[in-house]
Amino acid sequence: MVLSSLEDGPRSHKTAFLQKLFDFGLGVLIVGMVLTFFPGFASAAATPGFPPEAEGGNAGEAAETLLKWKSALDDQSRSLLSSWQGGDACSRNWTGVTCDSPGVVTGLNLSSMGLRGMLGALNFTALPHLLNLDLSNNSFRGPIPSSIGNLSRLSTLNLSVNSLSQSIPSTLGRLTSLRLLYLRYNLLSGRIPKEILTLNSLLELTLSFNNLTGAIPTSIRLLGNLTLLGLMDNDLSGSIPPEICAMNSLSLLYLGANKLTGSIPPCIVNMTKLTELSLWGNYLSGSIPTCIVNMTNLTLLSLQENHLSGSIPQEVGKLRCLIALTLYGNNLNGFIPTSVGNLSNLVELSLASNDLSGPIPQEVGDLRALTLLALSNNSLNGSIPPSVGNLVNLTILLLHFNKLSGFIPRELNNLTSLVEFTLARNELTGQLPENVCLGGSLEVFTAFDNHLNGPIPRSLRNCSSLVRLWLQGNRLSGNITEDFGVYPMLKLIDLSLNQLSGELSWTWGLCSSLESLRISDNLIFGEIPPTIGNMTRLGVLDLSSNYITGGIPRELGRLVSLIDLSLTGNNISGDIPHEIGLFSSLAKLNLARNSLNGPIPTQLGQCRKLWYLNLSRNVIRGSIPSEVGNIQFLQILDLSSNFLEGEIAQDLGKLTALADLNLSHNGLSGSIPHSFYDMLGLASVDISYNELEGPLPDIEAFRRAPYAAIQNNKDVCGVVAGLRACASSSNKKANPERGKKLVVGITVSVTGTFFLIFAFGGIYLLASRKCKDENCNLREEHTGDPFVVWSYDGKLVYQHIVEATEGFDLKYRIGEGGFGAVYKAELSPDRVFAVKKLHSLEDGEVIGVTSLEREVNCLANISHRNIVKLYGYCLHSTNSFLVYEFLKRGSIREILGDDEAAMELNWVRRVNVIRGVANAVVLHAPRLLPCVDSPRLDKQQCSVGC
């Protein structure tokens, strides 16, 4: 045919050419019309900007990448992504996957799906065309992969509300197309990378609620297009950089809950587009810049919990767009500016916890939109303005802890939407608002520690929304039976220290959420209703100082959460129920000043957490059960003024934490158990008016006890002033361990091996002779041949020692020896001695005289650097004592009890000391001095063993 056509004449050839030209033009016209009227067709055919190799191939590679990441997640996460199947991420309905053209994945949104795993297993390089990535509100953990920086087309990145950790990768600085970056609510740490501050396309950046540290970079100014900057709740420090003021596009700035210091930069006034400024919870100081009032677009100004001082600018009334003004928790002073009444859009006004004074301005009543007014914890005075009653939208009104006085305005009855209303600790008088809970929404009402009187508001009876009600410390009256109803939500109620009367209603048992019930110091009568045992969440029950009668209901044993039970000062009778042992959490039990009888239940020993136990002034009989000794944390025990009898249980000595013990006014007999020597924490004791006898324990509590705390017993003796001294044998029997106690000196005993107990220091024997009657004027009480080793007047030395210790006052006591207390006597700056004062004499005998003879004779014959030096002694019916060298560093026992000092005394030194003492004891030390030649000390005495 071609040959045939060529063979045609010129006309046919021309016609064919024109036909082809027409066909081409028509084709171009059709394509143009399609592109004009169907522009989506072009993008479907080939996505502009994507490389040709992406067409038709991206979905497969993306599917492989996503499926591999899915397999690395936990079982639950894989089930949530069950739609991810097949080899094409765009050909089927894959959850969260968006494709802008066939085979090109441009979006991945898996927000709030509850996924768990790590992002490191996701190969972001296989998703180069992603525009939006939202994995927020899941449980992803681990670091943010640096490969995210390869998503160069990314516009939105949201990884908020996860558990991502470590630092923010600097590779995010490559995301030059990024407009929205959300990383809030994670565990990210480290500094804010400067690389992301070069992303000048960013409109919103939120890094809040992480653990970021360091200062806010000054290069933050480069984000000139930013409208939202959130750095709240991190650990950022330093001052607010003035460069931040150059961010003229910012409308939302959140820097609260950090560690920022310094003052608020005055240049912040240049940020005229700001609508919300949050700087709360930092360490900002200085005053509120007056120029801040020129930021007339502000709707939120949050500066609370800083260290701001000065007054609130009067010009604050110019911020007419303000919805919330929160300045609480600063050091602001002065008056509340009256211009605050101009803030007609204000919904929240919180000026609490400052040093504001003066009256509440009546202009506050013009803030008709107000729902929260917090003026508590200031020094505001005067009366509550009646205009506050205009604030009918108020849900929270906090006026507590001020100096407000006068009557509560009747206009406050208009506030029927109140949820929280506090008037506590003011000087208010008159009656409470009648309609305080008329709206039925009141949850918290506190008016304690005022001078209020009159009845309980009637609206409270049916106020089932109540959670906390504190009215204690007033003069409120009324019938508690009639004025209160059933409160299913009530947790805390305190009506103490009022003039309420009536009986406790059984309906209190229906308050199943109650955790604390205090109605002490009122005029309540009748019995405790058993239904109180139904309040199983009750932790505190205080009905003390009323006129309650009857017994303690056994149903109270069901209060397993009880921590504090106080029924003191009533007319309760009967036994203490055995069910009291079920109070496993009980810490304080006060049943004093009642008419309880019967024995102390042994089950009380099961209350192992008890620290306070008071059963005094009852009619309790029997003995003190030994089980009381099992209450190991007990600190205060008062069983006084009962009819207890028998001996004090030995197990009571196990109460090593006990600080205050009162067993007075009972019929206890026998002696104080030896186990009391273990009660080292005992600070106060009273055992008066019993039938006790024998020696008192020589412990601090008894030594400091006044005679009144011991008096009127059968025959006690010992350490209390005014009592006779116990016989030596009695004393030894009562405390066989006392002879082993060492404070200043060191005693050496050799039983097969040598044990080191003597103090550091040298001993050099100077002299030894007895104090003569004509020199010291002391009555000789010791048989034998006493001696004195002082080289001058013994009487004078005696007087100096008594004067230096102010008559052996307790403040000079430094320890305890085997048979006496040890005092520090400073006769002069260079003459300081340790004086062991012996216990009182009895029947002409010094207590422990035999042991003392050995100690004196031994030390008089030994001079060694490892054994304490004895200077002399004196025996007298008033004060008998031994005088030793004073060792500043104490004894070896004290040194070994201190970790640092023990390390200094290394093993080489310890062996040398032991060897030296051993040599001294057997009189073989190379430098051992012979006995001092004294006319009052013969050789036989010199050889007495230690």
Q: What is the pLDDT of residues 88-129, one digit of tens each?
A: 888 778 999 999 877 789 999 999 999 999 999 999 999 999
Name the band, by pLDDT with cuts 50, 70 and 90, for residue 155. very high
Q: Considering the entire predicted model, what is its pTM?
A: 0.71
Q: What is the pLDDT of residue 835?
A: 84
Q: What is the pLDDT of residue 917?
A: 63
Instruction: Tell me the pLDDT tens digit for each residue of 343-373.
Output: 999 999 999 999 999 999 999 999 999 999 9
How many residues belong to the chain?
A: 946
Name the band, by pLDDT with cuts 50, 70 and 90, for residue 798. confident
Instruction: Tell me the pLDDT tens digit for each residue of 694-726.
Output: 999 999 999 999 999 999 999 999 888 778 888
Instruction: Tell me the pLDDT tens digit for each residue of 527-576.
Output: 999 999 999 999 999 999 999 999 999 999 999 999 999 999 999 999 99
Distance, in Å, from the CA atom of 840 to the CA atom of 837, rounded to the nearest integer, reads 9
User: Would you call 459 helix, strand, or coil by DSSP?
Assistant: helix
Least confident range from 124-138, 216-230, 447-461, 929-943: namely 929-943
Mean pLDDT, rounded, of the chain:
82
Is the pLDDT at 137 greater than 90? The verdict is yes
Is the pLDDT at 407 greater than 70? The verdict is yes
Is the pLDDT at 43 greater than 70? The verdict is no
Mean pLDDT of 834-844: 64
Q: What is the pLDDT of residue 785?
A: 33
Q: What is the pLDDT of residue 630?
A: 94
The token pair that represents 231 in the structure block: 């750095």
Structural contact between residues 229 and 203, judged by C-beta atoms closer than 8 angstroms: no
Name the band, by pLDDT with cuts 50, 70 and 90, for residue 891. low
Does 837 belong to an annotated binding site? yes
Name the band, by pLDDT with cuts 50, 70 and 90, for residue 430. very high
Instruction: Tell me the pLDDT tens digit for each residue of 621-676.
Output: 999 999 999 999 999 999 999 999 999 999 999 999 999 999 999 999 999 999 99
Distance, in Å, from the CA atom of 931 to the CA atom of 765, rounded to the nearest integer, reads 8
- Please report the DSSP string for 9-65 in residue order: -HHHHHHHHHHHHHHHHHHHHHHHHHHHH-HHHHHHHS-TTS-GGGTTTHHHHHHHH
Name the band, by pLDDT with cuts 50, 70 and 90, for residue 884. confident
Least confident range from 19-33, 276-290, 318-332, 577-591: namely 19-33
The strand pairing partners of 287, in sequence order, are: 309
- Token look-up 């506590």 returns 424
Q: What is the pLDDT of residue 809?
A: 79
Name the band, by pLDDT with cuts 50, 70 and 90, for residue 159. very high
* Cα dihedral across residues 66, 71, 73, 75: positive or negative: positive
Instruction: Tell me the pLDDT tens digit for each residue of 762-796.
Output: 333 333 333 333 333 333 333 333 333 344 455 66
Q: What is the pLDDT of residue 626?
A: 95
Q: What is the pLDDT of residue 919?
A: 60
- Please report the DSSP string for 120-185 in residue order: TTS-GGG-TT--EEE--SSEEEEEPPGGGGG-TT--EEE--SSEEEEEPPGGGGG-TT--EEE--S
- Pairing assessment for the beta strands 444-446 and 187-190 based on DSSP bridges: unpaired
Mean pLDDT of 450-469: 96
Q: What is the pLDDT of residue 760?
A: 33
Q: What is the pLDDT of residue 27?
A: 46
Q: What is the pLDDT of residue 564?
A: 97
Is the pLDDT at 611 greater than 60? The verdict is yes
Q: What is the pLDDT of residue 684?
A: 95
Is the pLDDT at 453 greater than 50? The verdict is yes
Q: What is the pLDDT of residue 813?
A: 81
* Cα dihedral across residues 705, 711, 713, 715: positive or negative: positive
Structural contact between residues 624 and 602, judged by C-beta atoms closer than 8 angstroms: no
Mean pLDDT of 285-289: 95
